[in-house]
């Protein structure tokens, strides 16, 4: 097994994508620290790993604070003797449009996703550096952080921020042999279950049936298990030369996202004054506008949700 003898922490791993990551890491030989805020769900996750011969323990605590980060690392070291892998998956959603989003909506999402990623990675990286462990940091991003999404100001900010931090950490941790990457999963989750566009795919997943090829191939949308292999690969020794990257995965598709690069570069003698921009700006900028949000292809007729009956 590729991760035999390794120890991993997966935050937010009681269910869904996080549980799939933890189960695959264990299947590849890693001992796993499960994290969730619900003790019963965390216990079930541990049991699912132990039932297949794996090793796991649970830490029940909300991600965000330094105290939780220290608790997670301490649990890994005390129970399994070391820490090699950290997957920061924990998250919450508080979706609403900008003008209705409260301070509490914004702060909660930022605290769990962004601050929680920072505190956990800081604690794990410090341990790895102090113990000369060429560890693996894998942070979970989102298409929303890459392209934006209606009603997700807080989530977009957090996920975009995670990518920026990971690129910085890749530079800072390179000398220690520690890699840092972002994975952008596209899979059936509690969030996509409420979107009519994905209804046929989610229904198939709930019945443990194969998703239609349109979703798996054309859209790159699949199950949590489809993402888990990428997590385990990035945690392995085979991925020692991969760092600072954003890797999208879903269904049958894998993508390596580009770093932001300028699409046009022009110069103006004397600088870009208002008058210079008024004369040249509309063409330079408007002719090179970049898309925002995700654009989904039309659903094939046979995959469209049935219309609700009229009264």
Active-site positions?
Answer: 142, 155, 159
Q: What is the C-alpha separation between 40 and 46, in angstroms, rounded?
A: 10
Count the neighbouring beta carbons within 10 Å of the beta carbon of residue 131.
12
The answer to whether residues 250 and 187 touch, using CB atoms and an 8 Å cutoff, is yes
Please report which residue ranges of the chain form alpha helices under DSSP H: 16-27, 39-50, 66-80, 103-109, 116-130, 143-147, 153-173, 199-206, 213, 224-234, 274-286
Long-range contact set of residues 233-236: C-beta below 8 Å, sequence gap at least 24: 234/136, 234/138, 234/179, 234/181, 234/183, 235/3, 235/6, 235/8, 235/25, 235/28, 235/30, 235/84, 235/85, 235/87, 235/136, 235/138, 236/2, 236/3, 236/28, 236/136
Q: How far apart are CA 85 and CA 237, in angstroms?
A: 11
| H or E stretch covering 248 | strand 246-250
Contact status, residue 82 vs residue 136, Cβ threshold 8 Å: no
The answer to whether 183 touches 247, Cβ cutoff 8 Å, is yes
């Amino acid at each position: 097994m590729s991760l035999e003898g390794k120890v991993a922490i997966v935050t937010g791993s009681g269910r869904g994508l996080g549980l799939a990551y933890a189960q695959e890491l264990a299947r590849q030989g890693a001992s796993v620290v499960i994290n969730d805020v619900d003790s019963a769900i965390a216990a079930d996750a541990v049991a699912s790993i132990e039932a297949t011969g794996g090793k796991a323990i649970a830490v029940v605590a909300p991600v965000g604070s330094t105290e939780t980060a220290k608790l997670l690392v301490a649990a890994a070291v005390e129970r399994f003797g070391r820490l090699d892998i950290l997957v920061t998956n924990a998250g919450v959603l508080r979706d609403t449009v900008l003008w209705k989003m409260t301070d509490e909506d914004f702060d909660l999402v930022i605290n769990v996703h962004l601050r929680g990623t920072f505190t956990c990675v800081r604690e794990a990286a410090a341990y790895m550096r102090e113990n000369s462990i060429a560890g693996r940091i894998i942070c979970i991003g989102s298409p929303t952080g890459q392209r934006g999404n209606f009603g997700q100001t807080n989530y977009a900010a957090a996920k975009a921020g995670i990518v920026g931090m990971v690129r910085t950490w890749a530079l800072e941790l390179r000398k220690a042999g520690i890699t840092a990457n972002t994975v952008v999963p596209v899979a059936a989750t509690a969030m996509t279950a409420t979107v009519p566009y994905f209804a046929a795919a989610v229904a198939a997943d709930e019945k443990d049936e194969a998703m239609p090829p349109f979703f798996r191939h054309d859209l790159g949308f699949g199950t949590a298990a489809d993402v888990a292999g990428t997590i385990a690969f990035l945690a392995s020794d085979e991925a020692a030369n991969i760092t600072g990257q954003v890797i999208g995965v879903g269904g049958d598709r894998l993508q390596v996202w580009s770093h932001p690069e300028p699409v046009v570069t022009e110069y103006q003698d004397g600088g870009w004054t208002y008058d210079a921009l008024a004369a040249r700006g509309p063409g330079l900028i408007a002719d090179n506008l970049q898309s925002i949000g995700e654009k989904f292809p039309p659903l094939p007729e046979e995959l469209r949700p049935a219309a609700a009956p009229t009264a």
